[in-house]
Amino acid sequence: MQIPSLPEAAKVRERRQETRVVYPYGLSGTALNGASVLASRDAKRVAIAATFSTSLLSELVVNASAPLSEDEPRSAVLQLDGLANKSKVGVEWRYGQQRLPSREAMATLTSELAAICLATNPTPEKPAVDTGLVLQGCSIAELRKKSPAAAAAIDTYFPRRAAWYVSLKGDVGPETFKFSDATTFASTDERKWSGSGAVVVGFLTPQNLYVAGSVRFDRTYEAAKSQALCTIGALDQITACPNKIVGGPAEKTLKVTEVELRKYLPPIAGLTFGVAGIVRRDWKQDDTTVEVPLYFLKDKEGGLSGGVSGGYVWSSDKDTKGARFTVFVGQTFGLGG
């Protein structure tokens, strides 16, 4: 049996490793029907995404985002004349595969674990059913630790298998730049379109080691620096010189390749840790970065989303080159893309 994508396969594996969730999949392995629409916001942008299942193994995600503004109560994405300023629209196609146990194997596992659960906790809130194991009265992780029979059944009927996925994504968006012409100093504006594209390939080993490689291309535009513009009337007259942006925006291109490894560490004093290793090469800027984030801060849902990171940047730019150490939050850790 196969599943839609590696991120979903990773959720199963993570949930088996942690104690709060058990097998969430039905035995039929049906894909998502229709579309699922989610909206989210961070400190700077608001986003909405719709996910469509194109088959049992793949899905299509269409998303749009716009910047948040303190002056405007709404964040516009689409207007009558097209996309709103600084908004973005994008699309991502994901394809992934992992072989899951057969219906017969899952039914046998459900029956055996249900019997062990009833022996240790006679009154579970929900019984085991033939669409998956969901026993609220027993923790599968605790059963695995305390019962050799449960551990043997899980290893026999639900062994860890490798999973892989590939993702293709891209987005475009306009931005209007206002500036003074470099020759006439007349006020003008210019609309530029930025775009990005990426290919990501990920692999999750039976040992719960996530390995991914990606290639990303970004083309954006950056406003020119502001300068003081002075209108001289007389040499002995005091003149105010306002700062204005002189000249149009400059194109900025990024060509980045990246390799990343992630893995959960064994719990220490009841705490969950996740570690990653990242090697990133920016071919346009001639920069190479090595980074090792350590995750241990949890969000309100119990997932890892913060910690500390150390690394080093090799660059021809003296201001960029050197060691790095940061404390970060809001970056979710998981064994998937």
Q: Return the percent helix, strand and coil in the chain, to nearest 5.
A: 15, 50, 40
Task: Identify any residues that bridge with 245 across adjacent strands, giving them in sequence order.
Answer: 226
Are residues 308 and 281 both part of a single domain? yes
Are residues 15 and 47 both part of a single domain? yes
Domain tally for the chain? 2
Which is more confidently placed, 10 or 111?
111
Q: Residue 194 to residues 77, 176, 251, 258: CA-CA distances in angstroms?
A: 15, 11, 9, 21
CA angle at 109 for the pair 105 and 115, rounded to the nearest 5° = 150
Are residues 216 and 109 both part of a single domain? no
Which is more confidently placed, 280 or 14?
280
Q: What is the DSSP letter of 75?
A: -
Domain that residue 13 falls in: 6-100+161-329
- HSE at residue 7, side-chain half, CA atoms within 13 A, is 10
Band of residue 79 on the pLDDT scale cut at 50, 70, 90: low
Q: In 3-state terms, what secondary structure has residue 153?
A: helix
Is the separation of the CB atoms in 275 and 218 below 8 Å? no
Are residues 189 and 175 both part of a single domain? yes
Closest CA relative to residue 189, chosen from 172, 174, 200, 171? 174
Q: Is residue 65 part of a domain?
A: yes
Are residues 321 and 250 both part of a single domain? yes
CA angle at 283 for the pair 96 and 281, rounded to the nearest 5° = 55
Are residues 226 and 80 both part of a single domain? yes
pLDDT tens digits, 124-176: 555 544 444 445 557 777 777 778 888 888 888 887 788 899 999 999 999 99
Are residues 138 and 204 both part of a single domain? no
Is the separation of the CB atoms in 66 and 87 below 8 Å? yes
Q: Distance between CA 311 and CA 11 in Å, rounded?
A: 28
pLDDT tens digits, 185-218: 888 999 999 999 999 999 998 888 999 999 999 9
- Res 98 pLDDT > 70: yes
Share of the chain above pLDDT 90, in %: 28
Interaxial angle between packed helices 103-120 and 148-157, expressed in degrees from 0 to 180 and rounded to the nearest 10: 170
SS3 of 93-134: the string is EEEEEECCCCHHHHHHHHHHHHHHHHHHCCCCCCCCECCECC
Q: What is the DSSP letter of 4?
A: S
Last residue of a domain, one of 160, 184, 200: 160
- Res 101 pLDDT > 50: yes
pLDDT tens digits, 277-334: 999 999 988 899 999 999 998 888 888 888 999 999 999 888 889 999 999 887 888 8
pLDDT tens digits, 217-248: 999 999 988 888 787 766 677 777 888 898 88
Q: Distance between CA 154 and CA 101 in Å, rounded?
A: 11
Indicate the pTM of the whole model: 0.69
List the structure tokens of 263. 């893995």
